[in-house]
Amino acid sequence: MDYNQTELRRETLFKDAVLSAAEGKSMALIADAQQKSGEEIGKAKAACEAASYDVIAKTLAHDTEREHSALIQEGRRALLQHRTQLVEDMFAEVEGRLAEFTAGKGYEKWLLAKLSTHNADLAALPEGAALIVTVRPDDADFEKAIKKALPGCTVQTDRAIRLGGLKLAAGRLLFDDTLDAALVAEKQAFYEGGHLE
């Protein structure tokens, strides 16, 4: 099983766990509100035998409905906050794993492979077009290998690239193969696809 499939499986399990926790919390809130409603109605019946039961029941029902709605809103807010923290923790762990990857032996090979994925696009450029490869400062040691893989290119560093990867610019053509951009895209996709209602 490759890394992407494992991460997809972990993401699916994570989404299922968050949705299950949200459903359980909602059911507990509803049960609690119903219990409180029953208790309040029981107290009202006992205290006001002579009073108009219908008026009291309607008032209590209205108050209970408002309280129930407030509890549900509070529960949703708490669940959203908890889910956000879980997602942030998960993506912090992913960042840690990316840091391990970029410190490993296979990272340079992966970086150079990213350049070769754009060979067809670069072949269509006019001869002598300026090619600029931008990497994070920690990857400046790969300049020689990058220039060998892409003769005639200029290699520069950018502190905005924190995690690794590279950007390739050739005129108006720009490829962003940074791990930073990939992580942002994955986080956005996760928030859009795994939302709680």
Lowest mean pLDDT among 5-19, 120-134, 161-175: 5-19
pLDDT digits (tens, 9 = 90+) for 34-93: 787 777 777 767 666 555 667 777 877 788 888 878 778 887 787 778 777 877 888 888
pLDDT of residue 21: 66
37 within 8 A of 59, measured Cβ to Cβ: no
pLDDT band with cut points at 50, 70 and 90 for residue 196: very low
- What the block records as the tokens of 46 is 């006992």
Task: Say if residue 123's pLDDT is above 60.
Answer: yes
Give the per-residue pLDDT at 116. 86
Q: What is the pLDDT of residue 66?
A: 84
Looking at residue 32, its pLDDT comes to: 75
Per-residue 3-state assignment (H helix, E strand, C coil) for the chain: CCHHHHHHHHHHHHHHHHHHHHHHHHHHHHHHHHHHHHHHHHHHHHHCCCCCHHHHHHHHHHHHHHHHHHHHHHHHHHHHHHHHHHHHHHHHHHHHHHHHHHHCCHHHHHHHHHHHCCHHHHHCCCCCCCEEEEECHHHHHHHHHHHHHCCCCEEEECCCCCCCEEEEEECCEEEEEEHHHHHHHHHHHHHHHCCCC
Give me the helix-helix angle, 106-116 and 53-103, nearest 10°. Answer: 100
pLDDT digits (tens, 9 = 90+) for 140-192: 999 999 999 888 889 999 999 999 999 999 877 789 999 999 998 888 888 78
Specify the pLDDT at position 158: 95
Q: Mean pLDDT throughout 20-41? A: 72
pLDDT of 15 higher than 50 = yes
